Amino acid sequence: MTPGAVESMLALHDDRGGRAIEAVSEGRVKQYQDFTVVVGHEDEYVVEDGGCTCKDTAYNLDPENPNDRCWHVLAVAIAERIGEVDHHEMWYSEVREFL
């Protein structure tokens, strides 16, 4: 990401933006055949159709506000835009069985 893009992300999304940038830079956005997953520090979160399985999305965010998104959703958007999604030719549901 360019410095200007980083500044914009942080200005618009504060800590969530910073965590999203960190996840992308560490290669923690994974695309499987069935889901896109962001690897967090304690769990993995499924991001699908602009939504996420995390508690932040469930309890803290306004679903009507398109700028109010968890850092997992932001990370997927960033990774897709800059071509940093880690693609896997397998089903996440199969991978999840091993975890």
45 to 2, 4, 35, 48, 97: CA distances (angstroms)? 26, 28, 10, 10, 15
The DSSP letter of residue 5 is: H
Tokens of 19: 């965590």
Mean pLDDT per 10-residue run, the chain (99 residues)? 88 92 97 94 91 92 87 96 94 74
Model pTM above 0.85: yes
| Calpha distance 85→7 (Å, rounded) | 21
